[in-house]
Structure 1
Amino acid sequence: MSDAHTLDPQQLRTWLQGAANRDAAAFRALYNATSSKLFGFALRILNKRELAEEVLQDSYVAIWNNAGTYQSHLAAPMTWMTTIVRNKAFDLLRRSDVHAEIDGEQFDNEVLNALHDPAATPIEALQMSGDAKALAYCMSVLERMHRQVIGLAYFHELSHSEVAAQMELPIGTVKTWIRRGLERLKACLAKGGRT
């Protein structure tokens, strides 16, 4: 399986064109090169392996069936396929009334990885690690629903209206919970990650 950083967009376009022409070998190559990245993306949204696997399968069926509609001037191949996975994941969440939960340990690891700067000095890396741990701790002490809406909005990068739709809540409630949760996070972080 290919690493996301080594994926050649032109090669992906070629494989997508092959899939549009019903070339199974091209589609298999596309799958082998992109499935791990797309699975990871689905898993980030759904937080359950079996749901992410279901979404990945549905997404590749959609990619196979719609490869002929891909327009390279509108989006890069990975962007187009990621959008399909994202839409399938949200469809599953709406359909099955499953809500993505923010797992504290996973959140901590994701934040630490996101804050990792390979150019940072050891002192800077240690400071970022401490900041990430403080953020993860402060997230863990929020009320579950506040943590949920903040996690979906900022960790999963959903708009307030997408969070409201996914959680079947009024948008005003989502905005209020996000505002209150962010205020509590700010207060907790001001104390150095202690409540």
Structure 2
Amino acid sequence: MSLPEPFFDYEACLIACSRGEQQALRDLYEQESARLLGVAKRIARDDALAEDIVHDAFIKIWTRASSFDPARGSARGWIFSVTRHLALNFMRDSAREVHVSEQQETALHDLASLEASHESVDSFDYRSRSGRIYMCLEQLEPVRRNCILHAYVDGYSHSEISQKLDTPLGTVKAWIKRSLVALRECMG
């Protein structure tokens, strides 16, 4: 017959975390880190990744402890929910990534460098054509125009645009590529 686990006050620990009491976070870690690691491992199926997820979960628990609402559920459930959501989000986001070999990455980098060198000469008469770009952008579908603007005005990476628009990474890359071709033709 096993002894029941001693009482642990999760809610009090979260309240203490929200006040900045580091010992409360240590107590939560000692109490639940092994079980949270089990949850993360079941989802991520990778030990090192699961450890990263649990680490991030405790950071989120620490920084968001004040957002815990006992009316919406138990403190322990909230802690497990934070970890589970982080693990699921990571798996969803990594499933969208396109893995490229080192050789492919080198080839893509070389191609980008070559294209950049062709454009380094100021052959673009931007002063006389600046109004035209707005007209050409207006001809693009709104979602494709937004991809172009996020990439070239906001400076977002393709994966950041993918996350922002909740669209697969490959689709975002294709939209940007086709939109650039369309803009080039329009500016012709």
Q: TM-score, normalised by structure 2?
A: 0.47
Instruction: Compare CA radii of gyration and give the structure with the larger one.
Output: 2
